[in-house]
Amino acid sequence: MAPFFMLDEFSRYLGTQKRFSEHTCLAYRKDLEQFLEFTGIAGNEDIQEVNSRVVRGWMVYLVEGSYASTSVNRKLSALRTYFKWLMKEGLVETNPVARVNGPKVSKRLPSFAQKKELIPEKIDPLFTDDFEGLRDRLIFEVLYQTGIRSSELVNLEDKNVQSDRIKVLGKRNKERIIPISGPLAEIIGNYRILRKEILGAGKEFFLLNNGKKLYPKFVYRKINIYLGKATELEKKSPHVLRHTFATHMLNNGAGLEVLKELLGHANLSATQVYTHNSFSQLTHIYSQSHPRGGHKL
């Protein structure tokens, strides 16, 4: 069977055994289709001829095609995983991507909003008093107050949203529990009452005006609008609210291990990126508080 047509089996492997999300499986498949088209691979004999030189040629092609370093590295990751799987299936003897290093990625600090930009007095007037306004306000508050991902918010089920906590199904189907505040619980209760009155009961927690399930682009557009009204940020997306949640938590004394669990990170290194922003806050506090910190009297 030609490897090109084995992408269906590979995608099933990613979803069932690696427990990758549907979004990641689709992205990997598109990356592999691009590579196979670039190399002209048609069958098992061709796949045996792929070596590190061919892979590096594809990488150069991508870089010269103005692909971002992060995109190139993701494509290489997809290819690396694919060849590991082919080795497991006995179709190739070596992994030609094993010794190929992707382009360096410059580390950019996550964008986040300032606390003064998200105070209730400034945020609340942005939303209308009808069902749509209440839902949008709750979407905004859940993203900011819990730090969950947009995909996790879209897939929230009604049974997993309680008066003091939210159960989230994260990456690779890993569950985590996130506590919520009293004010947020009050908004949730008001939303539930109005949703039931207008749309009735349902499996999904967040619903569109027509009763259907939310989708990621809808959430992105909404957050883009409201962040545009409340902040001066250039980047305005649901993930910015996740970054904001993490930064504000650290700036107010939360530990990295606690934040790691709340964000659903697999390892601590993913959480440590936020310490750069927190260090800036600590520097500011030091300069204002220490007798020789450099503040002006």
Tokens read off for 92: 């190739």
CB–CB of 141/181 below 8 Å? no
Which pLDDT score is estimated for 91?
A: 84
Q: What is the mean pLDDT of residues 212-221?
A: 95
Which pLDDT score is estimated for 66?
A: 83
Summarize pLDDT for 1-42 with one digit per residue, the tens. 445 558 889 999 999 998 888 888 999 999 999 998 888 876
Q: What is the mean pLDDT of residues 104-124?
A: 85
Q: Phi first, then psi: what are they for 292, rounded to 5°?
A: -115, 30
* Residue bearing the bigger pLDDT, 42 or 240: 240
Q: Which residues are catalytic?
A: 149, 171, 239, 242, 265, 274
Longest dimension (CA), the chain: 77
Which CATH topology does 3-88 take? DNA polymerase; domain 1 (1.10.150)
133: CB partners within 8 A, 6+ apart: 127
Architecture of domain 115-287: Orthogonal Bundle (1.10)
Which pLDDT score is estimated for 46?
A: 74
Tokens read off for 62: 């991508």
Domains of the chain by residue range = 3-88, 115-287
Lookup result for tokens 């940020």: 233
Q: What is the mean pLDDT of residues 186-206?
A: 94
pTM of the model: 0.65
- What would you report as the CA-atom Rg of the chain, rounded to the nearest whole angstrom? 23
